[in-house]
Structure 1
Amino acid sequence: MSFLPITSSFTAIFALALVALSVPVTLRRVKVGDLIGDSPDAVLRLRIRAQGNFIEYVPLGVIGLGLVEAHAAATWLVLSIGGVLAGGRLLHAVGMWRESAPLRGFGMLLTYAALVVAAGVLLMLSRA
């Protein structure tokens, strides 16, 4: 059985980040009385999308990261992919909360870069 210390650490960080994105959604839902689904409240909608976007990208990123690490890729490469993914998710969330298109966009570019690099590494390693 493989132990994936880098992926495990990033997964813990991402779990805490998801809670940090989820609690404000819950608090806003209670405040505005929209406990299920979407809402006409603009602040709640932004919080829901920040949380949703995180949930849409992080699971596949963590799976890719874990597979790269399981293939015994260089430590610097695994750390780089995880760091770029984490940085991208952080910038995107801050951009959503501050309604900053440049931050959101740069966050998405970093997220895409992490996914593409992980995919490329996995394709190369799976042929070896």
Structure 2
Amino acid sequence: MLLPITLTLAAACALLNMWLAARCARIRIADKALHGDGGNSLLAKRMRAHANFTEYVPMTLILFGLVELAVGASAWLWGAALVFALARIAHGFGMDADKPTVWRASGAMLTWLVMVGLALVALYIAYGATREVPAPPAMAMMR
């Protein structure tokens, strides 16, 4: 089964991951910082933004894929994917600042909201939805 929402979001996240990595690489090359942040505070912030991305995106992509597999593509799931991608961009920009910013805060909060929302939907699908589960094809042939 094709999962257009999850595939689109995964592609967007792969490109965002490369964008975050390139932002670090530019500073690393300019400062000749091969390991760690080399004492550059902007590099430290950008490394943390990249690490934060890798902490939240995999689990959220798994949730998107499983929910989409269970209920199919829908407008609300497309909307959640768009919000998630925009949240990760906002967070990446917001992490450059020395003080808390609306970009960082909104990026983090929207990321959490989408992740928790998908987790609740997944739990509802698994335990709260009342529907008849069809027998596997092998079992149906035994009748």
Normalising by structure 1, what TM-score? Answer: 0.90
Q: 1:73 offset after TM fit, Å?
A: 4.5
Q: 1:39 offset after TM fit, Å?
A: 3.0
Q: Name the CA distance, whole Å, in 2 between partners of 1:75 and 1:48.
A: 35
SS in 1 for 2:51: helix
What pairs with 1:43-122 in structure 2 (closer than 5 Å)? 43-73=42-72, 75-99=74-98, 100-122=100-122
Q: Which has the higher helix share?
A: 1
Q: Name the CA distance, whole Å, in 2 between partners of 1:26 and 1:52.
A: 14
One-letter amino acid of the structure 1 residue matched with residue 34 of structure 2 = L
Most deviating of 24-33 and 12-21: 24-33
SS in 2 for 1:68: helix
| Preserved CA contact (<8 Å) 1:85 1:114 | yes
Most deviating of 9-18 and 68-77: 68-77
Question: Against the structure 1 CA distance between its residues 72 and 5, is the aligned structure 2 distance closer, same or farther, given a 3 Å change threshold?
Answer: same
| Structure 1 outlier segments of 4+, above 6 Å | none
Q: 1:114 offset after TM fit, Å?
A: 0.3
Most deviating of 29-38 and 51-60: 29-38
Normalising by structure 2, what TM-score? Answer: 0.82
Q: Name the CA distance, whole Å, in 2 between partners of 1:123 and 1:73.
A: 16
| Preserved CA contact (<8 Å) 1:18 1:54 | yes
Residues 69-104 of structure 1 show CA distances to partners (whole Å, capped at 9, x for unaligned) of 011255112112212211211111111134452210
| Preserved CA contact (<8 Å) 1:47 1:97 | yes
Q: Name the CA distance, whole Å, in 2 between partners of 1:109 and 1:45.
A: 22
Q: Name the CA distance, whole Å, in 2 between partners of 1:73 and 1:97.
A: 37
| Preserved CA contact (<8 Å) 2:4 2:73 | no
Q: What CA RMSD, in Å, does the superposition of the two structures yield over aligned residues?
A: 1.5
SS in 1 for 2:36: coil
| Preserved CA contact (<8 Å) 1:81 1:117 | no
| Preserved CA contact (<8 Å) 2:67 2:122 | yes
Most deviating of 94-103 and 50-59: 94-103
Count residues with an aligned counterpart.
127
Q: Which residue of 1 aligns with 2:136?
A: none
Q: Which residue of 2 aligns with 1:22?
A: 21
Q: Which runs of 5+ in 2 are unaligned?
A: 130-143
| Preserved CA contact (<8 Å) 2:91 2:104 | yes
